[in-house]
Each structure stands twice: as C-alpha cells, then as structure tokens.
Amino acid sequence: MTNPYSLDHARSLDATDPLPTRRAEFHVPRHDDADQAYFVGNSLGLQPRGTRAQVEDVLDKWSMEAVEGHFRGHSQWLSYHGLMREPLARLVGAKPLEVVAMNSLTANLHLMMVSFYRPTAERPAILIEAGAFPSDRYAVASQIAFHGFDPDTDLIELEPDLPGGLFSMEAITAAIETHGHRLALVLWPGVQYRTGQSFDLREVTRLAHAQGARCGLDLAHAAGNIELSLHDDGADFAVWCHYKYLNSGPGAVAGCFVHERHAHSGVQRFAGWWGHEPASRFRMGPDFVPSEGADGWQLSNPPILGLAPLRASLDQFDAVGMPALRQKSLRLTGYLQQLIDERLADTLEVVTPRDPAQRGCQLSIRVRGGREQGRALFGHLAAHGVLGDWREPDVIRISPAPLYNTFEDVFRFAHAVEAWRDAGR
Ligand SMILES: *Cc1c(COP(=O)(O)O)cnc(C)c1O
C-alpha cells in the first residue's frame, strides 16, 4: 500500500479510477500557474466547454432567422424547452412529462405553493427544517401570510436533534406525526445546504401523505449530486436550480417537477400562455387549457439564451449517468473524509453525517479553533488556490464535484490545511 497521504497516491487514484475525470470538458479557473482546486460546485458549478457553442448557436439563429427561429430549422425556440425534458427526467428519476426547466428556484417554489399549499382553518401549517435556506423560509412565510394565516404559529420549523445541526429520521417522523392534523405542506430539502445531510425522501413523502399533507422538495443541493427517484418517491412537487451542480451558469433557468398524479388533474395554478396546451396556444383564445404535466405550469415563453447552457450541461450528465457519477462522488468524498480523519482530526471536524447514504458530495467542515482561526484557514486555502466556501460561524464547505474534481484536488485541500496547521497558524 502506498501512503494515502501523498500526491503520488492521489494521482494514482485519478489514473486508475473506473470513471476518469471529465475535467478537460470544463473551464477551470487558474491560480498562479495551475488549476484552482475548485470545491464550490455547490454554489456555482464550472462552465462546460460546450456551453459557448450552445449560446452562440442561439445567437446565430437569431441573427439569421429572427422571428422564424421560433419554428424553423433545428432547435426551434417554440419547443426548445422540450429538448431538456428527457435528460432532465433521467437526472432526477422522473417521467418526462413530470419535469420542466423554467423560471428560477424561488419563483418555481411560489408557483408550486400556489397549487399545492391550499391551507384551511383546520390545516394551515407548513413544516420546514429550522435553518432552512433563507429564500425558502421567506417564500413559505410569505405564502402563509398571503393566505391570511400567521407564520408565527403556522410555520413550523423543526429543530435539529443531533449535534452539528443534523436530523434523525425519528425526529422528522415525530414532528410530522405530532403536527400532522394541522399540516397542509411539508417542504423538505434533498440535501441540506448548510450541513450537507441528505434524507430519505420516499419516507418523508410517505409520512407527509399519511397525515393528509402535501409534500414538496427543495433539491437545490441534491440535483446533479445524489441519485434521485422523484417519480417513485412520490412527492407532489420539487424545485431546484441549475447553477450549482448543474453547471449552467449564474442565475440559470431552474428546474421543476410535478408528479404525474397531478398531470391531468386540473389543479389550480397561476397560468400563463406558455402553459397552455401547444396545439391551440396560438389560436390565442380567452380560456386557459393547461398542457399536460409540468409544462402546464410554464408562464412565459422561456429565455432561450438562458436555457442554452443547460443543454451543454445535461450532455455532460448524460454522457456519464447519475449512477456512475454518484459512485465516483462516493470515492472522492470518501477520500476527503479519510484524509481528514487520519491527518487533520485535531484541526477539523466533519459536521456532515459519516454515513454515505446520508450525504452527497459536500462535507461541511467545522474548524475546531473557532471563527477567527477558521477565517484565517479559509484565507490561507484561497491564497493557495483551494476554493471552498464559508458559512458562519466556523464552517468551510468543501464539495468535490465528480464531473471535474480530482483526487489530486482533494489532496491539495488536505495538504494546504496541514501546512497551515504545522506553520503554527
Ligand atoms: C441555492 C438555493 C436557493 C437559491 O434560490 P434562487 O431562487 O435560485 O436564487 C434557494 N434554496 C436553496 C435551498 C438553495 O440551496
């Protein structure tokens, strides 16, 4: 056995891995004369080299065909969002009619709540996790207030019961059962953004439905990270963004899932012309007839320039497939965990669950020395081309993305931490 704590070993892991890195397919920012060790795919994924061509293709088509680009030649804009349907469905384990790329995450969350948060006096409440991403909390609190209810009593925030802000399934079960009779909606994350904990989404959904509540999922940190089976797991809706693990650029057009059981149900929604069924949309009639499935929640004709990068991104995911990508992710993050355990346990503490079934690629790592030390370490890492991100008060998130991060990147992180520690900080 070679010493796992050597650059040679990390390089040999890269050279012999069953899924070679696709790093060459991406633009990796440079630091000095080397690639950055970029671990921030949980915040903004790297640009695929194929993105520019997809964007230019739209610009060219617009310049040459103008309005006729909507319905002429290849990649027509009228049905452009449909080009994403099948690859998106594969990505999240859904049926094609259950997914659509549209709007942004928070906008989709509101649109989904218009349809699937239907509070009554007996059943007005929404359950979310305490410490949820602020936008999600703002969205649910404002929906509760919009319906004339009181977020102080009807927004139920489950406090973590385990150290480091983690949740046991027992606590989730107890909360859903205790509040069940008052719950209109359970909104749960696929992967919690702060801790990196992932959840049994089938069980969360089952528990919510057993209480007569709807279940929605925020997959911002789960899509493109863990394997999802949205159709079989059965949640009513899910929303996610495409600029994190989906590498589709800042503010990219987001994703939305509506379960097949609602595909033809005429459920109430806020309507717009792009949700009208396509065959008669251009008769421009006064009455809204929804498209079947998730397409029926679209409002506007989509920003084609904004959708173009998603095509290049989904090509990357389709070239590998989520099962193989997830296996690689387990190896990369497992190596990160191993190096921390064996060499850095006096300096760093992993907050994210150890069980690979309860996490994606991200490790949330607490700096034992506290906030000031943590800030100093974070600065040291950045100065050495190792980029993670900082969460107050003392956590560095490191997310090895299996499409473009390498074992060598992981080694560079650990090595830089060790150098900082050994220099007496
Ligand atoms: C990243 C993220 C968001 C961001 O919302 P946008 O509408 O895309 O700006 C929302 N919720 C969660 C959980 C996130 O991780």
Q: Residues 125, 154: contact at Cβ < 8 Å?
A: yes
- Per-residue pLDDT at 2: 67
Measure the CA–CA gap between 298 and 23, rounded to whole angstroms: 34
What residue spans of 149-285 are helical by DSSP H? 151-154, 169-179, 201-210, 230-233, 278-281
Nearest CA to ligand 1 atom 14: 220
Measure the CA–CA gap between 418 and 386, rounded to whole angstroms: 13
Taking the centre of ligand 1 as the mean of its atom positions, its distance from the CA of residue 39, in whole angstroms, is: 18
Assess whether the C-beta atom of 220 lies below 6 angstroms from ligand 1.
yes
Question: Measured between alpha carbons, how far is residue 326 from residues 21, 199, 242, 323, 339 in Å?
Answer: 13, 15, 18, 5, 20
Measured from the Cα of 243, ligand 1's closest atom is 8
SS (H, E, C) 142-186: HHHHHCCCCHHHHEEEECCCEHHHECCHHHHHHHHHHHHHHEEEE
Pick from 190, 132, 121: which is nearest to 140 by CA?
132
397, two tokens: 């998130």
Taking the centre of ligand 1 as the mean of its atom positions, its distance from the CA of residue 90, in whole angstroms, is: 22
Q: Residues 17, 10: contact at Cβ < 8 Å?
A: no
pLDDT values of the chain reduced to their tens digit, one per residue, 425 residues: 568 789 999 999 999 999 999 999 999 999 999 999 999 999 999 999 999 999 999 999 999 999 999 999 889 999 999 999 999 999 999 999 999 999 999 999 999 999 999 999 999 999 999 999 999 999 999 999 999 999 999 999 999 999 999 999 999 999 999 999 999 999 999 999 999 999 999 999 999 999 999 999 999 999 999 999 999 999 999 999 999 999 999 999 999 999 999 999 889 999 999 999 988 888 888 999 999 999 999 999 999 999 999 999 999 999 999 999 999 999 999 999 999 999 999 999 999 999 999 999 999 999 999 999 999 999 999 999 999 999 999 999 999 999 999 999 999 999 999 999 999 86
Q: Amino acid identity of 269?
A: R
Pick from 171, 163, 165: which is nearest to 200 by CA?
171
Beta pairing class for 183-189 and 214-218:
parallel
Taking the centre of ligand 1 as the mean of its atom positions, its distance from the CA of residue 139, in whole angstroms, is: 11
Mutate to test the pocket of ligand 1, among 40, 42, 103, 135 (most ligand atoms within 8 A of CB): 135
- Per-residue pLDDT at 265: 82
- Per-residue pLDDT at 1: 57
Assess whether the C-beta atom of 129 lies below 6 angstroms from ligand 1.
no
Segments making up each domain of the chain, as ranges: 7-35+321-422, 53-318
Question: Measured between alpha carbons, how far is residue 254 from residues 159, 245, 246, 257, 424 in Å?
Answer: 28, 12, 10, 11, 45
Q: How many Å from the N-terminal Cα to the C-terminal Cα in the chain? A: 32
2, two tokens: 């070679």
* DSSP for residue 369: T
Assess whether the C-beta atom of 240 lies below 6 angstroms from ligand 1.
no
- Per-residue pLDDT at 284: 87
Assess whether the C-beta atom of 218 lies below 6 angstroms from ligand 1.
yes
Per DSSP, the three-state class of 315 is: helix
Give me the CATH code for the 7-35+321-422 domain, please: 3.90.1150.10
Beginning with the edge strand found earlier in the chain, give each strand of the sheet holding 183-189 in spatial order.
99-101, 255-258, 237-240, 214-218, 183-189, 125-129, 155-158
Mutate to test the pocket of ligand 1, among 241, 253, 399 (most ligand atoms within 8 A of CB): 241
The CATH number for 53-318, chosen from 3.40.1190.20, 3.40.640.10, 3.90.1150.10, 2.30.40.10, is 3.40.640.10
Measure the CA–CA gap between 164 and 185, rounded to whole angstroms: 26
Could you check whether 7-35+321-422 and 53-318 share the same CATH topology? Answer: no
Assess whether the C-beta atom of 35 lies below 6 angstroms from ligand 1.
no
Q: Which helix (H) or strand (E) holds 188?
A: strand 183-189
